[in-house]
């Protein structure tokens, strides 16, 4: 959620290109050596990244990696349209401060929003798994610039939150993290791991899309 230019997704499939990136140990913990079997879904509201993300998605599919990226789409708790604020002039950082929050140097646009709770319930939790697959795992990155607590709180209230094995994100306050820990203490059944992590490594790096040479 908040995929920017898709670097975190690419770290999953090509970890050798992102040596020592903090998130790699989480991928290893959850997916072991089966990362190429993982389906990845990205959501990015900023239309500045549309073309690059579409090229990246195409690259992944050609490599056999199951990747789908919803471009110009804001993660929310309702379907509809929302006001989004881009960050012109900060292209060197891929407009990493673009968000649903207004700012002095930001530009207002309107983009579609997606009810992420209903989407996860209908598309992820109700998906058909291959027969014999008893180790399916779900991982989420939350980096939606200050809207994270609202979305995660509604995931909890909907009952969807506890179906996710691991969630990591940057914009999580101590109050929110402690509140979730208290909720989990008394639920005794919710095993979701919530990790505060800001892995901005390689965030400016647009590595070339290199296809393996075919052999005959």
Query: Quick check: is 1 in a domain?
Result: no
Residues spanned by the domain of 45: 7-196
Least confident of 6-15, 86-95, 96-105: 96-105
* ∠ CA 7-11-16, rounded to 5°: 130
**Does residue 19 have a pLDDT over 50?**
yes
Quick check: is 131 in a domain? yes
Residues listed for the chain:
216
Q: Is the Cβ–Cβ distance between 67 and 26 less than 8 Å? A: no
What is the H or E stretch that residue 182 is in?
helix 174-187
In a domain, 181, yes or no: yes
Number of domains in the chain: 1
Is 90 exceeded by the pLDDT of residue 81? yes
What gap in Å lies between CA 207 and CA 133, rounded to an integer? 34
| 8 Å CB contact between 56 and 207 | no
Flag whether 214 is in a domain.
no
Model's pTM, two decimal places? 0.90
Helix (H, G, I), strand (E, B) or coil at 172: coil
Q: Is there a domain that residue 205 lies in?
A: no
- Strand, coil or helix: what is 139? strand
Residue range 109-119, pLDDT digits in tens: 999 999 999 99
- As a whole number, mean pLDDT of residues 92-107 equals 88
Distance (Å, whole) CA 164 – CA 187: 15
What pLDDT does 118 receive? 97
pLDDT at 168 over 80: yes
Residue 61 lies in a domain: yes
Q: Is 45 domain-assigned?
A: yes
pLDDT on residue 214: 60
Average pLDDT across the chain, whole number: 91
**Residue 59 exposure: Cα atoms within 13 Å on the Cβ side:** 17
- On whether residue 202 sits in a domain, the answer given is no
What is the rounded CA–CA span in Å between residue 155 and residue 158? 5
3 state DSSP class of 54: helix
pLDDT band at 14; cut points 50, 70, 90: very high
Q: Does residue 167 register a pLDDT over 90?
A: yes
| Contacts of residue 126, Cβ cutoff 8 Å, sequence gap at least 6 | none
């Amino acid at each position: 959620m908040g995929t920017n230019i898709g670097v975190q997704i690419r770290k999953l499939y090509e970890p050798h290109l992102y040596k020592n990136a903090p998130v790699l140990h989480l991928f290893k913990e959850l997916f072991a050596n089966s990362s190429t079997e993982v389906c990845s879904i990205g959501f990015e509201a900023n239309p500045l990244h549309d073309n690059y993300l579409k090229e990246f998605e195409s690259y992944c599919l050609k490599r056999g990696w199951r990747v789908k990226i919803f471009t110009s789409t804001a993660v929310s708790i309702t379907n509809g349209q929302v006001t989004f604020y881009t960050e012109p002039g900060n292209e060197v950082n891929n407009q990493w401060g673009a968000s649903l929050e207004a700012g002095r140097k930001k530009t207002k646009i309107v983009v579609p929003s997606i009810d992420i709770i209903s989407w996860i319930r209908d598309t992820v939790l109700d998906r058909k798994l291959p027969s014999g697959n008893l180790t399916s795992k779900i991982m989420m990155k939350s980096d939606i610039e200050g809207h994270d607590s609202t979305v995660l709180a509604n995931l909890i209230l909907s009952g969807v939150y506890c179906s996710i094995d691991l969630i990591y994100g940057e914009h999580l306050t101590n109050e929110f993290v402690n509140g979730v820990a208290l909720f989990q203490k008394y639920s005794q059944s919710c095993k979701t791991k919530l990790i505060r992590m800001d892995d901005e490594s390689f965030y400016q790096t647009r590595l070339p899309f290199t296809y393996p040479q075919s052999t005959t």
